[in-house]
Amino acid sequence: MTAPSRSAAATLSGLFAAGRRCVLAPGQTLFRQGDPVDRVFLIERGRVRMVRHLASRHAAAMHTGRAGELFAEGALFAAAYQCDGQVVDAAVVIACAKADVLAAFAASPSLALEVLERVTRQLHAARTLVELRDIRSAEARVLRHLQLRADAAGAVAFEGRLLDAAAELGLTHEAYYRALAALARQGAIKRSSHRVQLLGPDQPPPAETPA
């Protein structure tokens, strides 16, 4: 890849303008945990998920990148990727060499600050997921997740499959659907296709019981 000029690299679109486009199918792996870091990515279309393999042999979804977002930029200062990059939907990503990205940051403090802001937002989102997974009750975990995602009218629209939300929360899709059904029976939510309406947004989460 030929590095863009300093003026072109002052924006994310300029930085990735000369990058290599990769067309990916659902289920493909963009990179694997432990691979040497040589590239970062801009998602042009679709969704790609960070999945970390734990010492317990479980896998945890850490973050889902969407169209217009950087992906794997958190690995810029690491020797190896800390997660797998797994394609959720059919996606197009643009790859940029790690060395070119770091050079663009050095040349443009405004670009570096823009990326730092994005990384900070992702870090906050990842911390929120960790806090949610600490909630033992599946019903309480799901309800709190819905409350955090709801708009001002108490509605939550799902971009993808509901089981994607289950993966983010560390639940099986069966446990997630059971929790939704229980919340609907309790009158806490109303479900429709790819949409959930909170009923009484100030209602506290249900009492904690083991999932």
* pLDDT tens digits, one per residue of 165-204: 887 888 888 998 899 999 999 999 998 877 899 996 454 4
Q: What is the pTM of this model?
A: 0.64
pLDDT at 7: 44
- What does DSSP assign to residue 54? P
Q: What is the mean pLDDT of residues 30-41?
A: 95
**Nearest by Cα to 197 from 139, 166, 152, 154:** 154
**Nearest by Cα to 93 from 120, 121, 65:** 65
Distance CA 78, CA 111 (A): 20
* pLDDT tens digits, one per residue of 119-134: 788 778 778 887 888 8
pLDDT at 202: 53
* Helical H segments across 80-188, by residue range: 98-107, 109-133, 138-149, 162-168, 173-185
pLDDT at 6: 45
